[in-house]
Chains A and B, each alone.
Chain A
Amino acid sequence: MRAIRKHERRALLGDRLQVLLLGLFALICLSASLRGAQYREALEEAAAAFEAEHLERAADWRERVVAVESGDVAPEDDVFAGLAMDVARPAVAAPGPLADFSRGVTDVHPFTARVALWRSVDRLFGNYQFQSPNEIRAGKLDLAFAVLFVMPLLMIALTFGALSRDRDSGRLGLLLSHPVSVRAMVRSKLLVRLGAVFAILVAALLAGLFIGAGGVPDGGRLGRFAFWFLAASGYFAFWAGAIYWFVSLNRKSEITAMLMIGFWVLNGLVGPAVLAAAAQLVHPAPSQLAFLSTARQVSNEAYRSRADVMQGMLLDHPELTVENYTIPEYIRVSYLVNETVDRAVEPVLEEFEAVQNRRRSFLGLVQYAAPAALAMRSINEISGTDLARQVRFEGEVRDYKRAIARHVEARVLAGERLTVAEVDAVPTYTFRESGLGAVGRSVVFPVGYLFGLGLLGAALARRNLARLQTRFREA
């Protein structure tokens, strides 16, 4: 067998086209790593700049309250210092730990929000839809794409003739007339060819790990990387098993190639497209336009009946009736209108979240029909670029606004300024990544399934090859 492996290595290295394909794959992975690192860095910079700018504004604003409280500025000279309605804080979700490996949904969703009471929850994320639509539509050439789509194609290109070429040329019978195990022969060929792909994969992932970290990666990144590596290896194992099985069918080269490509198309294109369409058909999202209309209608009605809204508020909170109210009334009205809108759109937003959860559960079940979809979902989750993380961030930002509102509501309604102590006690927001344990628990079964499929393919292939050997012996 060593001789076969040696021969295969020489054959692989002597075939210019195959060496070129391996080189191209390495180049695509390297380019994906470099671009991914740039992308993640840009996101980090944008998030940090946003946070710094808004914290600076908050600090300046606090200074005005300090000046009034310390008597450096007369209260009447800065009426709006400490105006409770003006409290604004940034909420930022820094890019996921491996956003450079897989961009997931990060290119279409907001990752910053200026949480201010002047904005109702439907407007918390401001204007972020400036990305190039062509770029979003085309998707990104990240490491996830290289692993999920390019790698299997390379594996197919290198192996489709592993057995059938000998069959086509009539050498197979001759080979098997010698005391050679067809199983060992095919295994050796695949080991050499797929081994070369796996070696590039490992090198590419390690390169991505260090390039993205800009040096030695920290523990958190390493932990995520370990899962990413497992998921990529699982997908590789799945494809290796499938290829072993297709090869073991012992068909003509072109038929083997067509079967493999057909399988790639079903798994990588048709499967995800059909599953996505099915998830959206079975669990349709509420209409975004209807959501918008609801928010506007409620806002309009609340504004129109602002006198009633104010009256209601004062009936509920008579302690907030202040005789010498110096802050313009529209501020209280705006607060109450926004609060009314927030309450009214809450069920719709909850429905949006619920639909995403239902779709997630649905896909969690049916994803096993399309391993590419399953691997992509796992990889995005490990990278911290999945939709569930985004939905969680948006939900937390809305909760954060409610927390700020609770903290300052009495002052807004009473038209009183905040004290420095109250300003300092305004809640802050920190986005917390899911722990490694949670990520591990979530992806262990899908990744295990990929390895299982790989083993199943290999087992079936072994059986087919054993039968083939027997057939030849009997003949």
Chain B
Amino acid sequence: MIRAIARKELVQYWRDGRVVTVFGIVALLGLAATVTGWSAVSAMERERASAVAMDREIWDTQGLKNPHTAAHFSRYAFQPTFNLAVFDPGLTDYVGNAIWLEAHYRDPAALRPVEDAVEIQRIAQLNPAWVIQVFGPLLIFILLYGAVAAERESGTLRQLLAAGMRPVSLLLGKAVSAFSLTGLLVFGVLLGSAFLMSAEGIERLPDTGLRTAALAALYLVYLAIFVFLALGVSALSSRSRTALAGLMGIWIVATILGPRIGPDVAGALAPAPSAPEFAARLDQEGADPFWGAGEEAVQRRQRVMDAALAEYGVETVEELPINYDGYLLQASEEFANGVFDTMYAELWGGYERQHAIARGFALVSPTIAAQNVSMALAGTGLHAYRHFADEAEEFRREFVLLLNQEMIDHGGADGYAYVSGNGFWRQNPDFEYAAPGIGEAVRGVWADVIILLLWLAIAIAVAALGVRRGFLGEMAA
């Protein structure tokens, strides 16, 4: 019976020019978004590969230079744009592509694509995940707003029930038809993305297959929420007009207002540190207490000198068997690293607090939760960005240590006059980034998964309520 109803509904959709038109537009948007996403990711990866090679070449051929001067020039960590960003670019455009690994400073990622983007991109950015997140529910609501209400209005519902049709079968038949149509959209877009993601030159995320399957499951759950909500609202509404108005209200709150209001309120309740202020503090607190002219800095440098003299058992700096300037520079790095750890923990903490507050809005907008999970699976969320930034910072510290150590070990009494050559630069390692696996990626979004499942349960409950109230009332009549 369910299959028969679903088939009848699908035929009806097919005959209804409006449904075909809307579906066609959404499918076309999905296709355009997929191709645009692939084009953007391919270009980013091409540029990155070229920049990585150039960075190596520049480093290797810098000629005679003091290692610490080289540490100031340093190198860059370029963030890869992985294959699943074709499907969901998430924060890709809003975080920088490159982190400068300079001495004495932990730089933020620079070169954010959004800075080059036209301003209207801030209204909406065409990408496959966005098409499904926003237009999937809209399509479902258009297909299902009259699922029960219209049958009731036209009197066919009473006839069907009188003929022995089980309400659940009717509801499930309609659910299956709408779900299969929108599911087709999800699989179409995902398959298209998967095909383009496998193109040469695009780096693969670990567990891509598993992640893609999880994305498919995520969006099926996401769409199922709206399918059941639509059926419930339609069954509970006396008229299809009322059902449509209610569903449009849900769509607007869930997909348009919620994802914007949530982070905005979060920003108001837990403001992140002001960017210029934070940059200035990072500059001062990482350097002044060590290199400044104040008493604290002078004493700190004195302690470093005392430690060096004690370590090598000599009386004066001149007697040290090492390059003391390099030693002092490394001590300053270690001091600054502690400051950076504290300050960046504060910065990330601020982001995380905002994220947690915004997640609270997922209770009125499942789209927020779906976006969080989708970005995490695609490796384009906040966690992935932080993972990259932390790995780059770890490498920066090791790299600067390597350069300072070269000066300490071989610089002798030459101080800053000591220079190394291309032979040494060529031995220096590259930054190689390995993205986390799916387990680590989804660790931060369990709450979102639970919220989505909660939404699914609520949606099913609304549909069940619709069956009880809407259908049974009709049967009693």
Q: Which residue of chain B lies nearest to A297 when distances are taken between CB atoms in the complex?
A: B58
Identify 13 residue pairs between A and B in the complex whose beta-carbon atoms are under 8 Å apart, listed by A's number. Answer: A129-B112, A130-B273, A131-B275, A132-B351, A135-B354, A138-B263, A138-B358, A276-B121, A292-B76, A300-B73, A303-B63, A304-B62, A377-B119
The list of the 10 closest CB pairs from A to B, nearest first, reads A138-B263, A276-B121, A289-B51, A273-B124, A272-B123, A130-B275, A253-B241, A133-B94, A293-B54, A273-B126
Q: Chain B residues near A165: list those with CB within 8 A.
A: 241
Q: Within 8 Å of chain A (Cβ to Cβ): is B256?
A: yes
Q: A135-B272, A273-B126, A289-B97 are in contact. Are A168 and B241 (CB under 8 A)?
A: yes
Q: Within 8 Å of chain A (Cβ to Cβ): is B198?
A: no
Q: Within 8 Å of chain B (Cβ to Cβ): is A421?
A: no
Q: Chain A residues near B58: list those with CB within 8 A.
A: 293, 296-297, 300
Q: Chain A residues near B63: list those with CB within 8 A.
A: 303-304
Which of B50, B134, B267, B272 contacts A269 (CB under 8 A)? Answer: B134
Q: Which residue of chain A lies nearest to B106 when distances are taken between CB atoms in the complex?
A: A127
Which of A35, A130, A268, A288 contacts B108 (CB under 8 A)? Answer: A130
Cα–Cα distance between A197 and B274 once the two chains are bound (Å) = 36
Are A108's CB and B114's CB within 8 A? yes
Q: Within 8 Å of chain A (Cβ to Cβ): is B413?
A: no
Chain B interface mostly helix, strand, loop or mixed? helix
Number of interface residues of A (CB under 8 A): 83
The stretch from A149-157, A427-435, A451-459 touching chain B is A149-157
Q: Within 8 Å of chain A (Cβ to Cβ): is B118?
A: yes
Cα–Cα distance between A109 and B134 once the two chains are bound (Å) = 28
Of residues 327 through 381 on chain B, the ones whose CB sits less than 8 Å from some CB of chain A are 347, 350-351, 354-355, 358
Q: Chain A residues near B277: list those with CB within 8 A.
A: 46, 49
Are A127's CB and B274's CB within 8 A? no
Are B351's CB and A129's CB within 8 A? no
Are B55's CB and A293's CB within 8 A? yes
Q: Within 8 Å of chain A (Cβ to Cβ): is B309?
A: no
Number of interface residues of B (CB under 8 A): 93
Q: Within 8 Å of chain B (Cβ to Cβ): is A352?
A: yes
Cα–Cα distance between A90 and B262 once the two chains are bound (Å) = 36
Residues 149-177 of A, flagged 1 when their CB comes within 8 A of B and 0 if not, give 11001000100110001001000000000
Residues 181-210 of B, flagged 1 when their CB comes within 8 A of A and 0 if not, give 000000000000000000000000000000
Cα–Cα distance between A133 and B117 once the two chains are bound (Å) = 15
Q: A269-B124, A277-B126 are in contact. Are A376 and B98 (CB under 8 A)?
A: no
Q: Which residue of chain A lies nearest to B22 when distances are taken between CB atoms in the complex?
A: A262
Shortest distance between the CB of B270 and any CB in chain A (Å): 10
From A112, A131, A132, A145, name the one whose CB has the most chain B CB atoms within 10 angstroms: A132
Q: Chain B residues near A281: list those with CB within 8 A.
A: 36, 39
Q: Which residue of chain A lies nearest to B111 when distances are taken between CB atoms in the complex?
A: A288
Q: Within 8 Å of chain B (Cβ to Cβ): is A468?
A: no
The stretch from B138-146, B221-229, B294-302 touching chain A is B138-146
Q: Within 8 Å of chain A (Cβ to Cβ): is B428?
A: no
Q: Within 8 Å of chain B (Cβ to Cβ): is A280?
A: yes
Shortest distance between the CB of A393 and any CB in chain B (Å): 13
Are B244's CB and A258's CB within 8 A? yes
Which of A138, A252, A279, A363 contacts B259 (CB under 8 A)? Answer: A138
Chain A interface mostly helix, strand, loop or mixed? helix
From B39, B58, B114, B264, name the one whose CB has the most chain A CB atoms within 10 angstroms: B264
Cα–Cα distance between A126 and B275 once the two chains are bound (Å) = 11
Q: Chain A residues near B117: list those with CB within 8 A.
A: 276, 280
Which of B109, B112, B123, B276 contacts A112 (CB under 8 A)? Answer: B276
Q: Within 8 Å of chain B (Cβ to Cβ): is A274?
A: yes
Cα–Cα distance between A42 and B43 once the two chains are bound (Å) = 37
Q: Within 8 Å of chain B (Cβ to Cβ): is A195?
A: no
Which of B78, B145, B249 contacts A289 (CB under 8 A)? Answer: B78
Are B115's CB and A109's CB within 8 A? yes
Are A129's CB and B275's CB within 8 A? yes
Q: Within 8 Å of chain B (Cβ to Cβ): is A299?
A: yes
Q: Which residue of chain B lies nearest to A148 when distances are taken between CB atoms in the complex?
A: B123
Are B118's CB and A280's CB within 8 A? yes
Of residues 83 through 142 on chain B, the ones whose CB sits less than 8 Å from some CB of chain A are 90-91, 93-98, 107-126, 130, 134-135, 138, 142
Residues 54-66 of B, flagged 1 when their CB comes within 8 A of A and 0 if not, give 1100100111010
Q: Within 8 Å of chain A (Cβ to Cβ): is B5?
A: no
Shortest distance between the CB of A61 and any CB in chain B (Å): 15
Cα–Cα distance between A173 and B84 once the two chains are bound (Å) = 57
Q: Which residue of chain A lies nearest to B54 when distances are taken between CB atoms in the complex?
A: A293
Are B111's CB and A289's CB within 8 A? yes
